[in-house]
Structure 1
């Protein structure tokens, strides 16, 4: 059983997700229905997408504390460009490119100056928070209807299951990144760098190039998260998603990706994001105070990291 969990890090979190769904379905009269399940998934889309980019960086034994701040900057940048008369497609592309460049800058500081990712992204968090507040003039801007909000469009799958276009876009994004990690040489390099940088270097992997590509791809994902956020809430708020970085890290860790790098993946992150959303939705419907919800989430994170550490020691 121990070997099974070690070889399939997402298996444990998936079992926890099933247990949580069963528990809240029994504990409340409102949790177990298609509309609520759809709402839970919709709630997890933005944080889940941020967690996808976070997964890439954590797999290399790094961390990104600025991911949510970068996405929020993207929403403000796109919105202000569009309101200023720029065509929405151009504004959207420039916003996504802007997010990519900011994250790539963090990657450049990590690779070129050999600075710790924690310090670099902590500084970038402060920088992007300030830049976004200044650029937005401290106010919330309405996102123009059309392309920028299209991902929030409601659809009905099979005529019954409520979903949004954004949910489909997020699913495609997750599948693409999963294929890149699981089926390409680049993905093998990412895991190798996270597992043991020196061994990866000796095997001929260009560590700096791999890390820079990871940060740039994560930034691209953050840009798409910004687009998803505009579809979900058609306002560009400089104060939005203030705990998005921590929520995304929580989803990644609960999903079985190791904070020490080299272990985990996209499937676990999907499950982790759903666990967080299910937990918050279920506890809210049980009328549990939000402080206890945060307490439960924190305990889950500590337990997940402790489990990962124990698993690593026993498999060493």
Structure 2
């Protein structure tokens, strides 16, 4: 794990040093706080995506499920009890994750195709449910994750704290529990895992269900950062989560990686985008830079796999 994390950490360090030398404001406490805040929503989503990629799957519906959660919570909170709205939002996201898991595990269909289909269905259903209208958030409870104490001139939001705590909890579950061992085993070789007595379908279902719950947490974080339930929001979130996971060193072929790398990967993307903006670089070049990083990360993963096989 330490070897897998070394590359992403080195890339993050290089980016921070480079932007701190080329800009005057990058290391300002307020800007450091902004980088963290910009990482929270995608970083939280990416934790759920990490679980799925560890099983050699992929979830193209992650962002759509989160947006559904934000819309459910924002609309129902405006019509009634906030806590009931949050509960229904979590149930909705968990249900969508469970549907993905059930289809993938029971029917043995490719996760790419399944989640591509549910992406389309969920996005359309969200627009139909809202008639493409947005719902502003007025509740202080739903704004909570966007607030937080100011330490040394930097605002540390409760959303940032929750993201890091969730990453620690998920990291513990993956490395210190039998469930985590089974997740890695299924990702490394489903056939071998089945021969050792692991219920592969149960593990896969549980992974997609847990991912759905994590997407619900991301929905709360999104409402805290931008207090509006918008059915057309976070259009690139699905690809952004995959980017963070891959740059963080988790293998697209399953069985290798972890949430620590995903946190670093999300920070790399945020640092890169923020630093290039500070340097006055056009946003299109920022997308080019992130795309090059993704290709390089996948190429490195392929190289490692070939060396391990030889």
Aligned-pair distance for 1:7?
5.8
Aligned-pair distance for 1:150?
1.0
Partner of 2:173: 180
**Equivalent residue for 1:216, pick from 209, 220, 223:** 209
Aligned-pair distance for 1:8?
2.3
Mapped partners of 1:166, 1:48: distance in 2: 11
Aligned-pair distance for 1:196?
0.5
Mapped partners of 1:198, 1:304: distance in 2: 27
**Equivalent residue for 2:162, pick from 165, 169, 178:** 169
Residue 156 of structure 2 aligns to a residue whose secondary structure is strand
Partner of 2:193: 200
Partner of 1:3: none
Residue 267 of structure 2 aligns to a residue whose secondary structure is helix
Partner of 1:131: 125
TM-score calculated relative to the size of structure 2: 0.98
TM-score calculated relative to the size of structure 1: 0.96
Comparing 6-15 with 275-284, greater Cα deviation is found at 6-15
Partner of 2:21: 26
Aligned-pair distance for 1:42?
0.5
Aligned 8 A contact 2:49 2:62 in 1: yes
Partner of 1:36: 31
Matches within 5 A, 1:51-130: 51-85=46-80, 87-130=81-124
> What are structure 1's unaligned runs of at least 5 residues?
1-5
Mapped partners of 1:242, 1:103: distance in 2: 19
For the pair 1:268 / 2:268, whether they are aligned, the reply is no
Partner of 2:276: 283
Mapped partners of 1:252, 1:267: distance in 2: 10
Partner of 2:135: 141
Aligned-pair distance for 1:79?
1.2
> What are structure 2's unaligned runs of at least 5 residues?
none
Mapped partners of 1:120, 1:191: distance in 2: 21
RMSD: 1.0
Mapped partners of 1:239, 1:102: distance in 2: 18
Partner of 1:48: 43
Mapped partners of 1:120, 1:144: distance in 2: 36
Residue 155 of structure 2 aligns to a residue whose secondary structure is strand
Mapped partners of 2:109, 2:79: distance in 1: 38
Mapped partners of 1:89, 1:176: distance in 2: 24
Per-residue Cα deviation, 1:218-263 (whole angstroms, up to 9, x for no partner) = 0000000000000000001111110000000000000000000000
Which runs of at least 4 in structure 1 moved beyond 2 Å after TM superposition?
none
Aligned-pair distance for 1:38?
1.1
**Equivalent residue for 1:17, pick from 12, 15, 22:** 12
Aligned residue-pair number: 309
